[in-house]
Structure 1
Amino acid sequence: MVTKKKERKKKNHRKRFYIVLLSLITLFLILIGSGVVYALNITRQLPPLEQFSSRKVSQSAKIYDRTGEVLLYKMFGEEKRTIVPFDKIPENMKKATLATEDENFYHQPAFDWKGILRALIINIKKGEFAQGGSTITQQLVKNVFLTNEKTIERKIKELILAIELESKYNKKEIFSAYLNQIPYGSNAYGVEAASQTFFNKPVEDLNLSEAATLAALPKAPSYYSPWGNHVNELMARRDYILNQMKELGFITKKKAKEAKSKKPDFAPPSMGTIKAPHFALTIKDYLIEKYGRNTVLNSGFKIITTLDWEIQQIAEEVVMSGAKRNEKLYGGKNAALVAQDPKTGQVLAMVGSRNWYNDKIDGKFNVATQGKRQPGSALKPFIYLTAFEKGYSPETVIFDTETEFVSGDPDCPTLVTPKSEKNEECFNPDNFDHVFRGPVSMAEGLAQSINVPSVKTLYLAGFNDVLKTLKDFGISTLKERWRYGLSLVLGGGEIKLNELVNAYATLAEQGKYHKQSMILEIKNSEGELIEKYNNESQQVFDKEQVKKINQILSDKQLRSGLFHSSLGMTLFDGREVALKTGTTDDYRDAWAMGYTPYLTVGVWAGNSDNTSMHQKGSSILAAVPMWSDFLNQVFQEKDFPKEVFNRPEAANPTNKPMLNGQYVFSPEINNTTYPQVHSILHWVNKDNPLGPTLQNPTQDPQYSNWGAPVMEWAKNNIPDFYRYNNPLPENVDFENNTRTSNLSIQFKEPDEGKYMNSPFLVQANINSLNGLSNIKLYFNNTLLQNLNVSGNSYNYFYYLNQPLSSQNSIELRVTDKEGIQKRKSLIVFKK
């Protein structure tokens, strides 16, 4: 009984097995049949093989300025092609092509199964068509008969047509057709056209280096263009091909080495008309990266950019003349400029070098978008901005004294030895004029670009917080945190001009970041909209803190201590303009970054090869004149509004020493005064300056570094200093037990930015806890009234009856009985 059950079980298993096997065989036959039908259908769609030279000429993509009327660049013109016999093509050209495209061409069928399988595996892993595994035959049929679309159907067509092609033509004929058909870029199809285009010689005259260079182009003709921005990458690919030729035995090691040592002598570009070349080619690179070379080639795209052709012409003229002047005076041969609308993020002008056609200065390299240069002091506004957000203020006092700082990461410094015992790991920043000023406000430190207070401000602001601020403002290149340390504020990291311009534009917009844009719209040949400008913006910083930076950088009185006789270059009739400069210690880079609420402009001056300018090649002499010339011409030609910066709201007063503008703390205890002078680290917790005072401030790693020079300064500058810094009684309230000033000036009339007729009333409320001593009124930098006063408050008024200019400054300078001085100014315009 058991045996019969087992036999029935076995029969059932066999029956199921045969059913499954038959099903699989049937499915396999169906798939094969479907594949054959699919292949036959595809084959019927294929063009005849005889149509080698009947390719469709693609419509060119055209790049225009923002009006859509000025043609900047026609990306692809009519194809250039000259057919040459196979025996006229040098062996080096053939072998270089085989080495890079298909080394087994003569020893394999129309397709490479290993290559296809390898590409299939990579594509499956990446989830996209990343590789194709094509032979020279496949590439030929793809370029002649098919498109570059990455689909399975196109690949099957390519394989079928490649097999057909090799059934009718021999390898020599196919290779000859390939070398005469393949695109090399700049509208050159085939090796003869490419040789004439890039080397201005017949293909048969090419040397080994030139042949390998041409063979490098078909992989990505636009990217590797000898006239583009990736020449270094082209040379690297040429060297790779020469190495391949050596490995395959096509050339000797000696010949490969000789060819690598030869720099190809490229012919000048025969591109037809090109305007704003650095800008236009940046657009071109963007289009190819986003849409693909073949899509752009076949598109007939019409690209309307953000570029203002009038402003661009001014920019090019200013950079050309300014760089020529710098070369003669300071040895700075190159310059770059970017102008942007801060309200939209749209780039209005871009000049990437003094002359795009001048190879001696590496003119085709776009310093504006590709150059990573040290910004000098141009990063200082963002350091001070971070400090203001933390609780410090423009009135906060920092001692400008010769100071040693720990280099490297300032968030984990080590206490250094006294100055008399120099430590190699410390650095001693100097000021540009080699003068140390003693106590200065943060506003003065920023406006006059004083180095030591700025380094101290970076430490107080916090290195990580500063890097975050810079990132929020669009600076993307400061990623090697370990390299910078406190020297970041002096330009210790590398940035790009276009990103720095956008960061300053964000200041102009009171902390609102706009994504930088260069395209208004793209339409295809049918007039269909492909892409359109979208004002992507985000508030990345508190408005009130940014207003403080704008007020400091636009204050011509504050900046006068830095510019002296050059101050006039920073002033523009009827315009309120903010400005910050930057110069690296070795004079390799000079910067001028300026802005209004409606226009931001950045200028870089130096040498593309990173060699130094002469010692006098500072930003004020090398960059500011170009910046000033550009703005003067633009303001004459363009109808920009005379808009002023919004002023910050009055801050809540604090009695904390240093934060309130006083560097002398004089508490009165039991009718005894205890005058104290220390560095700011003695009075505040650097990470929470408005919070409780530290019980043991000496624990700060920089306390001794900062404190000793302050004591030295005080001994030399404060009479009877022996009376200072006596021990205080216990539990002294730093904030409430002091004779502080809290000096305040509040204008009541006129309003900031108001249009006026003369005469008019100037009125202000002035208060000080220490008592008032003197009030001075300045009109357009001229003293109108010098008034001695008393008491703790004063209602000031003055009937101003002076001739008005288009823009006029009114400033009050008030001094209290402790000698503390405060200024406040406003701008009015003539009706």
Structure 2
Amino acid sequence: MPQITSYHKGQSNNFWNKLKLFWFRKKDKTSRGRKILKKILVFFIWILALSIMGILIVFAYFAKDLPNPEELTGRQVIESTKIYDRTGKTLLYDVHGEEKRTVVSFEEIPRNVKNATIVVEDANFYHHFGIDFKGILRAFIYNLQGKKTTQGGSTITQQFIKSTILTPEKTYARKIKEAILAIELEIKYSKDEILNFYLNQIPYGSNAYGIEAAAQTFFNKKAMDLSLAESSLLAALTQAPSYYSPHGSHLNELKARQEYVLERMYKFGYITEQELKIAKQEELGFTQTKEGFEAPHFVMYIKEYLEEKYGKEYIEKAGLKVYTTLDWDLQQIAEKVLADQVKKNAKNYNANNAALAAIDPKTGQILAMVGSRDYFGEVYPKNCKQGKSCLFEPNVNVTIRPRQPGSSFKPFAYARALQKGFTPDTVVFDLETEFAVEGAESYKPNNYDSKFRGPVTFRQALAQSLNVPSVQVLYLAGLNETLNLAQDMGIETLKDRSRYGLSLVLGGGEVKLLEETAAFGVFANEGIRNPTVPIIKIEDSKGNIIEEYTKKPKKVMESQIARLISDILSDEEMRAPIFGSRSNLYIEGLPVAAKTGTTQEYRDGWTIGYTPSLVVGVWAGNNDNTPMNKEPGLVIAAPIWNQFLKQAYEFKAQSSKLKAQNPENEFTLSEEPENFTEPELVVANKDILNGKFATEYKVEIDRISGKLATNLTPPDLIEEKIYPQVHCILYYLNKDNPQGEENGREDSQFNNWERPVLEWVNSLGAGVFYNQQPPQEYDNIHTPENQPYVSILSPINFQDINVNEANIKIEAEANARLGIEKVEFLFDDELMSIKYSRPYSIYYQIPQIITEGVHFIEVKAFDIVGNYSSKKIEINLFNFNY
């Protein structure tokens, strides 16, 4: 196949040899005609010299004000900014002003593009010095004849000059300037360089300037990937870009023009007959106008950031390459899943819109962002007033718009409470309770199902999203302290704290979906926050990195606290009583933690959940806050969340198997199930913190009197009795030091919390013995006054007794106010005998095994209620034989 060749100057001396022969031939007197010819020749030489001089003067006149060719090519070329996905393979958007352009090297432009352009624009490009004299002469004659024509004989070199610095008016002055610059440019640069300048400069229509922008605009591919048919079509556009536009109404004319280009390429030997035939038959599919604008809400989010930081005009012309954090595969999954579910929501629940944000909690990078069901859709209902009465507004990015989060905000309050020393097993009461905080109106929340469940643990209350216990938790955690924690975790919208009260835990404030999703990422990442980032790096037009992502982790929560929250939010069994078993918060084989939210009157539905590697937030509802058909976030938002997470993991697992090597910046997910780290066992020093709502109040009771035992109550008459006490949590602890010794009975909320608990206890009826009061009086039977009197009459203390005596008479006296029941006789603490009536005397035979020396005799007297006294004496045994 013929190749484009460079022009080489040739030189011939034939003309000048003949002229010398004619001029210096010997004079012939008879040759008068020759003299005349010489005069004519001299005349024309003068004319030629004067003409050349005139041309030089004209050139000098116009050239003095023209730019240097180096300035022409060294100027800052307007290039549009490209926004890519995280791998750089998918172009999401081309940010441009009036000119959308990406400069590429000569080597990146296909040979077919070069050849097609030359044959249709300047067939002799490689064989002239920048000016086509025949074309200029033709244009001159046509203009003298008064004919209107666009034939000006402009070469590619001239067209480049005209499109860069000269105005397009058709005047001789402009033509002269054009010619001068063309010659200068041809002297300074090679033909290949000039052709490259031209192909990166010319307009192709639809704001596409240069071959790369044209390829992206009309075929959604890079110039280097263009086929012969596509190359010839783009070359066909340059004569009249608007008229021949693939997005216009002259497609038949465009096809004819393309075939003309192909015929020219064949004529000049650049393609074969077979290639000509195939190219003519190739069906070309043109990229529609809205294509080339992928992930539109995310792109506009990026564009807004770029304009704010670098300026709108700069990013439209600077040719930046912006490599975002977006995962194009996950984005496509998100868009489809969301659109499919919104169709069902709109039909069944009057929820006409939804939004989704997905973030890598380990880096903070945004992986997917869907701001509405369809960026390119139409408002609904038709003719609604945007910002006020539209159920659906396509261009509004709900992921960055403040909305009430409902119960999805609850984990922040529970996390703060756990930080203060409360435990997941801490008991609070789910009862109708009035909350009256100083400076605010009293507040009496209800549960989603209008039912109350009595004593519940923090774990139950959060997993089942119970409202009344959660309001108590926020009070215990502290409103300001909870707001501080939420802010540390990434929520920045709750700034005017004077607006918020205890209803905040039920979604009383407004937050952004993107922010709350990122904040949940702190739980997923075990207490470490990575700021949300949408961009990996930005390069300028020369490839210099002007901005680049660097990881900036910050510990904002203890790992144990984050693990406890994840443990609760992933507890399928614990949430089942409210959400059902295997609900949309459950994914087979994939441990997930999740929290739903539903605002008052069902205006918003939320679901935010995560694995250790991916956190996803979903909102569903109507743009104008119109209530839905009384369905919670579990029904309208959770299906989107569930399907996205499920498909994301399935796709990434399959994708990793097919790829030998992951591209740079590829986001991957583990094929194996990711488990949350188990939290450490938490044990506190109070029953109420350890899951026992009924605290055991133990007392020692005298079985005879039924009153509190004293030190005088006989041990065998003392029994331990338990009185279960049920009170609100403030009865047992101070909210600011829950494991300390102080209680909270002086707290301003105590009475409001205690009252419904006591009412609940009373409502339990017979057979339940909570809150029975133990005796307040002490044993009044076993007292000093009632103790028996006892004395030993015989033997006497320290008496000497012969061991050989047969019996020892032991005689005692005893009496008591309540009467003597019995008298016990003991020898060396061994019971000898018991007497139940008078006389209180016995005879004791000393056993032979008893040795000589000191021994003890004791007498105990007991009355009829167990009071007793004793008397002990010492005797001395000796062996004396008569």
Q: Which TM-score applies when normalising by structure 1?
A: 0.55
1:367 partnered with 2:381: no
Show the counterpart of 2:320. 301
* Counterpart residue identity of residue 637, structure 1: F
Quote how far apart the aligned CAs of 1:480 are.
Answer: 2.0
Matching residue within 747, 750, 765 for 1:703: 750
Show the counterpart of 1:395. 425
Matching residue within 450, 453, 477 for 1:437: 453
Quote how far apart the aligned CAs of 1:624 are.
Answer: 0.6
1:72 partnered with 2:92: yes
Does the aligned pair in 2 maintain the 1:521–1:529 contact within 8 Å?
A: yes
Show the counterpart of 1:712. 759
Quote how far apart the aligned CAs of 1:187 are.
Answer: 6.5
Does the aligned pair in 1 maintain the 2:602–2:628 contact within 8 Å?
A: yes
Q: Distance in 2 between matches of 1:581 and 1:601?
A: 12
In structure 2, relative to structure 1, the CA distance for the partners of 1:692 and 1:723 (3 Å cut) is closer
Show the counterpart of 1:588. 603
Does the aligned pair in 2 maintain the 1:413–1:701 contact within 8 Å?
A: no
Aligned length: 483
Q: Distance in 2 between matches of 1:272 and 1:380?
A: 41
Matching residue within 539, 552, 556 for 2:555: 539
In structure 2, relative to structure 1, the CA distance for the partners of 1:718 and 1:558 (3 Å cut) is farther
Does the aligned pair in 2 maintain the 1:674–1:728 contact within 8 Å?
A: no
What pairs up with 1:3-18 in 2 under 5 angstroms? none
1:208-246 residue CA offsets vs partner (Å, 9 max, x unmatched): xxxxxxxxxxxxxxxxxxxxxxxxxxxxxxxxxxxxxxx
Show the counterpart of 1:477. 493
1:333 partnered with 2:363: no
1:622 partnered with 2:636: yes
* Counterpart residue identity of residue 576, structure 1: P
Quote how far apart the aligned CAs of 1:388 are.
Answer: 0.4
Does the aligned pair in 2 maintain the 1:57–1:79 contact within 8 Å?
A: no
For residue 394 of structure 2, give the secondary structure of its aligned residue in structure 1: coil
Q: Distance in 2 between matches of 1:47 and 1:501?
A: 56
What pairs up with 1:365-764 in 2 under 5 angstroms? 365-369=396-400, 371-406=401-436, 410=437, 412=438, 425-564=441-580, 567-616=582-631, 618-639=632-653, 640-641=669-670, 642-654=673-685, 656-670=686-700, 671-694=720-743, 697-717=744-764, 719-721=766-768, 724-726=771-773
Q: Distance in 1 between matches of 2:678 and 2:366?
A: 27
1:160-187 residue CA offsets vs partner (Å, 9 max, x unmatched): xxxxxxxxxxxxxxxxxxxxxxxxxx96
* Counterpart residue identity of residue 758, structure 2: M
Show the counterpart of 1:794. none
Q: Distance in 2 between matches of 1:723 and 1:606?
A: 46
1:660-699 residue CA offsets vs partner (Å, 9 max, x unmatched): 21111122122343321110011100111011123xx432
Show the counterpart of 1:276. 295
Show the counterpart of 2:81. 61
Quote how far apart the aligned CAs of 1:588 are.
Answer: 0.8
Q: Distance in 1 between matches of 2:66 and 2:505?
A: 64
For residue 584 of structure 2, give the secondary structure of its aligned residue in structure 1: helix
Q: Distance in 1 between matches of 2:531 and 2:516?
A: 13
Does the aligned pair in 1 maintain the 2:405–2:599 contact within 8 Å?
A: yes
In structure 2, relative to structure 1, the CA distance for the partners of 1:644 and 1:46 (3 Å cut) is farther
Quote how far apart the aligned CAs of 1:722 are.
Answer: 6.3
* Counterpart residue identity of residue 60, structure 1: S
Q: Distance in 1 between matches of 2:640 and 2:648?
A: 12
* Counterpart residue identity of residue 76, structure 1: H
For residue 294 of structure 1, give the secondary structure of its aligned residue in structure 2: helix
1:399-433 residue CA offsets vs partner (Å, 9 max, x unmatched): 10011112xxx4x468xxxxxxxxxx322211111
1:322-371 residue CA offsets vs partner (Å, 9 max, x unmatched): 111111111110000001111111111000001101241211011112x1
Q: Distance in 2 between matches of 1:595 and 1:509?
A: 10
Quote how far apart the aligned CAs of 1:449 are.
Answer: 0.1
Does the aligned pair in 2 maintain the 1:57–1:78 contact within 8 Å?
A: no
Specify the structure having the higher radius of gyration (Cα).
2
Show the counterpart of 2:874. none
* Counterpart residue identity of residue 658, structure 1: I
Does the aligned pair in 1 maintain the 2:761–2:770 contact within 8 Å?
A: no
* Counterpart residue identity of residue 675, structure 1: P
Q: Distance in 1 between matches of 2:83 and 2:517?
A: 23
Show the counterpart of 1:103. none
Indicate the RMSD between aligned Cα atoms, in angstroms: 2.8
Quote how far apart the aligned CAs of 1:721 are.
Answer: 4.9
In structure 2, relative to structure 1, the CA distance for the partners of 1:726 and 1:65 (3 Å cut) is same
Show the counterpart of 2:365. 346
Q: Distance in 2 between matches of 1:628 and 1:484?
A: 32
Matching residue within 266, 283, 287 for 2:306: 287
1:185-208 residue CA offsets vs partner (Å, 9 max, x unmatched): x9699xxxxxxxxxxxxxxxxxxx
Quote how far apart the aligned CAs of 1:726 are.
Answer: 2.0
In structure 2, relative to structure 1, the CA distance for the partners of 1:663 and 1:312 (3 Å cut) is same
Question: Share of identical aligned residues, percent?
Answer: 47
In structure 2, relative to structure 1, the CA distance for the partners of 1:647 and 1:728 (3 Å cut) is farther
* Counterpart residue identity of residue 604, structure 1: W
Q: Distance in 2 between matches of 1:673 and 1:333?
A: 59
Segments of 5+ residues of structure 2 without an aligned counterpart are 1-63, 101-163, 166-205, 210-287, 380-391, 654-668, 701-719, 778-882
Q: Which TM-score applies when normalising by structure 2?
A: 0.52
Does the aligned pair in 2 maintain the 1:448–1:562 contact within 8 Å?
A: yes
Q: Distance in 2 between matches of 1:668 and 1:46?
A: 106
* Counterpart residue identity of residue 335, structure 1: A
Quote how far apart the aligned CAs of 1:630 are.
Answer: 1.0
Quote how far apart the aligned CAs of 1:716 are.
Answer: 1.8
Quote how far apart the aligned CAs of 1:78 are.
Answer: 5.2
